[in-house]
Amino acid sequence: MYGDSGPGPFDGRAGTIRNARQLHNHVAELIGSGELAVGDRLPTIREVATVLELSPSTVAAAWALLRESDLVETKRRGGTTIADTRKGKTRTVQWSEIDLSWGYPQYDLHPALGRILVDALREESLNVVGREYILPRLQRQLEPGWPFVPPAWTTAGGGTEAMYLALNAIAREGGPIGVEVPAAPGALDMLRELDVAAVTIHADEQGPLVDSVRAALAQGVSGIVLQPTGSYARFGRLSRQRMGELAAVLREAPAVWIVEDDTIGPLGPTARVSLGEELADRVLHVRCFCKAYGVDIRTAVLAGSAELVERVNQARSNGYASNSRILQNALAGLIRDQGAAHSVSLATAAYARHRTLLLEELRDAGLTARAGADSLVVWVDIPDEAVALINLARSGIDVGSGRTSYPGDERHTPCLRIAVTQLPDDRRLIRELVDHISHAAVPELRELAH
């Protein structure tokens, strides 16, 4: 029992936990991993506050959140102990309030921004007249973790804008664009807005298939869009072997541009593989930070081909627009901050648990389900997509349509896209969701759907 010998589970965490929600999540992670077992007594509020350098009121608020989650129980003389989750009140969720389609993050896992934003205001160049597409301070923080040495860098106002600008940059050549499928939500809509046809590029556990890329090149694509980190992959992420094979094929088509969509950013693998390692002057690597740090950081980074970066800059108000120095500084601060890194680690672990739980329960129910190792979604094969969507909607459950992740003329196995990020960390509730999906998959409303 930790309370008998001091706050062991919180040693060394000073500065990495800054609010009640983060403390709640840390304790929940310790319970999930088995480090804290049923009946273990937590240290006193004052002990924890001292070790973590928090106010007693913050720790008390965290303990209240843990009680609300049925993770701990407090007795007048027995202190606060880890609860037996098999007893007590039954937890419920409103599925209509949970994003199961797009992969929006679990907001309470984002790092605290207050101190980071205050520090960002100390930049010497703040309010100096001029335009900086990317601050040197931000670029320095990014360089060690970028998968290749890019000829040029720039920023955009979030991941959606960054991807639109990147697609617009390669669409200028004319001709269709090859897209790795299943595509990220919204990617095909952007191409339609740009009046550009999409050509399917299929993938497997190692990334885009070489023969599929060859077929796209034979159709005269002016560029291809890949997901090297497998953010929405059905199978896996780009392997180093596959990258080399693709680079060899793409060298034979020197006029074709490559956009790499790194939607998950810091939530993805530490060791990334990129075609930029071989084709830096033709690759534009787009990294989004919103899912890891929150949408209000409003800064995505594009780096790679100098020509494509210049096109992106020119597309933003003819080169007159640039991202706020305050937000760029805040992003630089988050990248190097230990507390933010701990929050990202907690989020990555939580999303992995959600994905594993959902896959296990779907397969136990006899359904075919797949997801890449770092994917934010799980793909579930079903007999009739439209019927399943209608049946789930009647239960207040909104999931993604597989059809929207494939080009319009592409034949694909009917499937549902289920985002894992906001799923409850509770097997019983996941099983409840799977029961809904199993019943919805039975094609009983075919005449209604058609």
Condensed to tens digits (0 to 9), the pLDDT of residues 359-399 reads: 999 999 999 999 999 999 999 999 999 999 999 999 999 99
| Confidence class for position 444, pLDDT limits 50, 70, 90 | low
| pLDDT above 70 for 255 | yes
| Token pair of 362 as six digits | 């779907």
Which helix (H) or strand (E) covers residue 377, if one does?
strand 377-381
Question: Do 378 and 368 meet the contact criterion of CB atoms below 8 Å apart?
Answer: no
Say which CATH superfamily domain 95-110+339-449 falls into.
Aspartate Aminotransferase, domain 1 (3.90.1150.10)
The boundaries of every CATH 3.90.1150.10 domain in the chain are 95-110+339-449
Contact partners, residue 364, CB within 8 Å, separation at least 6: 434
Task: Please state the rounded mean pLDDT for residues 403-428.
Answer: 88
Indicate the pTM of the whole model: 0.82
Least confident of 80-84, 189-193, 224-228, 421-425: 80-84
CATH of domain 114-336: 3.40.640.10
> Between the ranges 13-27, 138-152, 320-334, where is the mean pLDDT highest?
138-152
Distance, CA of 299 to CA of 290 (rounded, Å) = 8
Cα 412–chain centre separation: 24
- What is the predicted pLDDT for the residue at 449? 43
419 residue type, one letter = A
| pLDDT above 70 for 450 | no
The boundaries of every CATH 1.10.10.10 domain in the chain are 2-82
Task: Please state the rounded mean pLDDT for residues 409-437.
Answer: 90
The boundaries of every CATH 3.40.640.10 domain in the chain are 114-336
Question: Do 405 and 180 meet the contact criterion of CB atoms below 8 Å apart?
Answer: no
- The share of the chain scoring above pLDDT 70, in percent, equals 94
- What is the predicted pLDDT for the residue at 284? 98
First to last CA, the chain: 60
Q: Whole-number mean pLDDT of the chain?
A: 90
Give the pLDDT confidence of 302-332 residue by residue, as tens digits: 999 999 999 999 999 888 888 999 999 999 9
Q: What is the DSSP letter of 263?
A: T
Backbone phi, psi, residue 154, to 5°: -160, 175
Question: Do 372 and 234 meet the contact criterion of CB atoms below 8 Å apart?
Answer: yes
Q: Where are the alpha helices (DSSP H) in 183-289?
A: 187-193, 210-218, 240-250, 276-279
40 residue type, one letter = D
| pLDDT above 50 for 445 | no
Nearest CA to 297 among 116, 106, 139? 116
Task: Say whether the peptide bond before residue 182 is cis (omega within 30 degrees of 0).
Answer: yes
| Token pair of 439 as six digits | 């019943």
Nearest CA to 169 among 22, 315, 269, 358? 315
CATH of domain 2-82: 1.10.10.10
| pLDDT above 60 for 196 | yes
- What is the predicted pLDDT for the residue at 85? 64
